[in-house]
Amino acid sequence: QKSQGSGSGVIVTADGYIVTNNHVVEDADEGGIEVRMQNEKTRYTAKLIGTDPTTDLAVIKIDAKSLPVIALGNSDNVQVGEWVLAIGNPLTLTSTVTAGIVSAIGRNIDIIRESDGRRNSYGIENFIQTDAAINPGNSGGPLIKSKGEVIGINTLKLVCNGTEGLGFAITINDV
């Protein structure tokens, strides 16, 4: 039985290279990755270029030219308490923006797993923790500083007994 998922991504080159999370595309069939642009009318079929389960990152490519590219920042300069924005498509809602602060940097939460659920002993975890809302569908979207620079790729949130405000992004320097 085929399943369908959704996520977000960051266009990093004008000719169509997009960074997202490995868990967003890992089980996609050949030709099964559809990219919908913000206007929701423009759609592309993406080619999977590569994945890295040890960082939960993936690169896909669409056949396009002159795409808008967002500025990449330097995540080594991020400070606890700094305001950030999480952008993505949570719960199939298009282009949402949530705001929060950086709660921690260099966070290791032992979450990167093999496909069979075992801990990935090669997993690289260096997350930016934020209280900006990150929900299903935000995965792969940008975490942005107030200057408009991407400092991370939204990856996951932890919820335990109703606790909220524990979102995590892979640092852009690791990307």
Counts for the chain of helices (H) and strands (E), in that order: 1, 11
Among residues 23, 76, 116, 174, which one is catalytic?
A: 23
Among residues 52, 115, 139, 174, which one is catalytic?
A: 139
Beta-bridged to residue 57, according to DSSP, are 21, 52
Is 146 an annotated catalytic residue?
Answer: no
Cα(89)–Cα(94) distance, rounded to whole angstroms? 5
Cα(63)–Cα(143) distance, rounded to whole angstroms? 25
Is 139 an annotated catalytic residue?
Answer: yes
Beta strands (DSSP E) in 81-145 are 83-88, 96-107, 127-130, 142-145
Eight-state DSSP code of residue 70: P
Is 115 an annotated catalytic residue?
Answer: no
Among residues 8, 56, 75, 103, which one is catalytic?
A: 56
Q: Annotated catalytic sites, by residue?
A: 23, 56, 139
